[in-house]
Amino acid sequence: MAKKNQTPQTETRKQSRMRERDQEQQRVLFIVLGIVAALIVVILAVGYWRTVIAVQDETVATVNGVSLPVRAYQARVRFDVQTIVAQINSIQNAFQQFNAEDPAMATIVQYYQNQLAQYTQALQQAPSKALENLIDDELVRQEAAKRGITVSDADIDREIQLSINENLGYERPTATPTDGPSPTPTLTATHTATPSISPTATATLTATLMPTPTEGPTLTPEPTQTPLGPDAYATEVAKLKDNLSKINISFEDYRKIIAVDLLRQRLNDALAREVKTTAEQIHVEHILVKTFEEAQAVEERLKAGEDFGKLAAELSIDPSAKTNQGDLGWAARGQFVQRLPLRLAFTSSRSWKKTRITRWTPPRWNRNARAR
């Protein structure tokens, strides 16, 4: 039998309205879902910016009006921690080369154990210490700027090169101190009597045979280490940058750390030149008594010519006066309150309970002081 041709059903008006309504609902749903998804993305982005990016620009400390951001603090913590960890690893590697059970190595073992304990403690204190270092660095920069002390890019490059060579075992060249100008002596004309010339006997030299020294073996000098060449240095710099990137520190931040270290060295040198190497010294002696009347009596006996040391040993209530006779030794001017000779200095502001008589001798200069 032949199949009958099926005529497609025509969509009714009701079905058409339902289809259009479903499509409209789906379109509205997609729009709502898109808006919700966009809001979620915005919220996540704002949260990430607030907790990760914006917080790094917040101020962790302010030094004389200069704000130190969290970003700089975090970088300093990472750098300090990495430096301490490198020291700990170096000590552990050296420690493993010794036999800890050998009694002869007890001193060395104890030394390395103490070093490990110190660096471990430093690692725990790294966050707080990093903030102190950050503040100190800013103080150094500000004071150096006031004094016109600067560091050039060439100085930083040279210091990095020296550090790399030093880490590889090459000796860091030491700066040769430059001697200042020697004082020129002044010639003073002095009348001197002309000495009379008297003939003197001339000694006769007698030749004496001396053994000829035998030359020993010639020592061959050890070859001098040659610093890294340009290619090898570039390789080491690349390694340094790679190591810094692992702790999320840029090479530019590392250069800033080197720069402030150089500023600190130059600032220390400048401050050392300002420290006085001489100080006025005064010889101090005292007699300590209980009452003002006793002090006046002591002063009268001194005026009568009695010895100061004997009076101190006899009358002073300071126990040390029995042995040092009231001699306090040499001290810098201004160290003691009393500054005038044979004046009464009272150590109690409420009564005349204790009275000190101090004798000052002419000052001297301490030329052995050393500037730090």
Domain range annotation of the chain: 279-366
Q: What pLDDT does 6 receive?
A: 57
Q: Give pLDDT, residue 335.
A: 64
β-strand partners of 67: 62
Percentage helix, strand, coil for the chain under 3-state DSSP, each rounded to 5: 50, 10, 35
| pLDDT (0 to 100) of residue 208 | 38
State the CATH architecture for 279-366: Roll (3.10)
| Residues in contact with 249: Cβ distance below 8 Å, sequence separation at least 6, in sequence order | 75, 78, 79
Residue carrying structure tokens 């009393």:
338
pLDDT, tens only, 256-302:
999 999 999 999 999 989 887 776 777 778 888 888 888 888 888 88
Given this model, what pLDDT does residue 159 score? Answer: 93
CB atoms within 10 A of CB 50: 10
CA distances from 277 to 178, 268, 366, 371 (A): 18, 16, 8, 6
Please state, in angstroms and as integers, the Cα–Cα distance from residue 213 to each residue in 3, 51, 153, following that order.
136, 82, 56
pLDDT value at position 187?
A: 36
Contact 251, 153 (CB under 8 A): no
CB 263 within 8 A of CB 332: no
The CA angle 151-156-162, to the nearest 5 degrees, is 130
- Residue numbers of the chain with a pLDDT score lower than 70: 1-9, 11, 45-57, 172-227, 279, 333-372
Sign of CA dihedral 197, 201, 207, 212: negative
Spatial contact of 120 and 89, defined as CB atoms under 8 Å apart: no
Nearest-angstrom CA–CA distance, 243 and 88:
17
Please give the C-alpha separations between residue 82 and each of 120, 204, 252, in angstroms, as whole numbers: 12, 77, 17
Element (H, E) at 363: none
Cα distances (Å, whole numbers) of residue 104 to 37, 100, 110, 116, 153? 71, 9, 11, 20, 50
Task: Let me know: does 140 contact 263? Beta carbons within 8 Å.
Answer: yes
Neighbouring C-beta atoms of residue 151, cutoff 10 Å = 18
What does the longest C-alpha to C-alpha distance in the chain come to?
Answer: 170
- From first CA to last CA, the distance across the chain in angstroms is 121
Strand partners, 343: 358
DSSP-derived 3-state class of residue 288? strand
SS3 assignment, position 162: helix
